[in-house]
Amino acid sequence: MPPQFFDPEADQSTYHHWSSRPAPAKTYFILFTPRSGSTWLNSLLTQTGAMGIPKEWFNPEHILIASRHCGARDLDQFVTAVTRSQAKGDVFGAEITYHQMTRLFGSPEAFLQRFPAAAFFFLIRRDIVAQAISMHKMVRTSVSHSAISDDATIAESDAAHEYDAEQIAWWVNRIREAEAGIEAIIAAHALRPVRLSYEQITRDGAETATRDFAANLGVTLPQTVKLSSRHRKIGTDKNQAFAERFRAEQAELLRRVDQDRAALLALHP
């Protein structure tokens, strides 16, 4: 394991504190592609108090800070500590992308070996062009979510966002690579994930999406659960105009991508 992911001097007393706790009764992962509504979904699941705190605990970009927080000096210690320290309702949840999984764990097999009883959800965005443009905009402007950005910041990011067909195409291919990677893992290991889409969960709304998720996980939510979210769409008419232009200019690329994704989309609502 690359040493930069972990601090060899992390506080072991913190690790021993968490490792002495029992493992959660349930563990689940949301396998996702970026800009697919995962942050909105995890904020809702966290609010229930019954389905863990399903953030990107295994994102290599944040692993050093997260592992220091729970005193873990290597990957196995981190898995032990984070699954206990971040459980809620006796459930541990996390989101992870294909590229995060392979970078941190080295291989899907190494990941799955550490979570042999986990349940899986697979979240995609059916409109891959809108997804790629959203990702391009986020990377270029550093504005990711409406819940942590005010209206002025969002407006400034929209004004600064410039059309770049080459970069949008790169993101289309990158997202498709991630989808295909997850599908390969599902096939190779006979996983049976619950399949979700950005379009479905946002259409259903917070209450329905959350309760359906709980039902698929086998968790009973109290009837009194009240959900709220500060998240709102930050896509604008400019995003839509860019999407229309890209579809017109890159028809052949998108024909190939649509053909390649047909089987995937047939399985996702």
What pLDDT is recorded for position 3? Answer: 47
Reported as a single tens digit per residue, the pLDDT across 100-152 is 999 999 999 999 999 999 999 999 999 999 999 999 988 877 655 444 446 66
- Pick from 256, 258, 229: nearest CA to 38: 229
CATH classification at residue 49:
3.40.50.300
* Mean pLDDT of the 51-71 span: 96
Domain residue limits at 212: 3-267
Reported as a single tens digit per residue, the pLDDT across 185-222 is 999 999 999 999 999 999 999 999 999 999 999 999 97
Q: Tell me how many degrees the CA angle 27-55-134 measures, rounded to the nearest 5.
A: 130
| 3 in Cβ contact with 67 (< 8 Å) | no
* Number of domains the chain contains: 1
Q: Is 196 helix (H, G, I), strand (E, B) or coil?
A: strand
pTM: 0.90
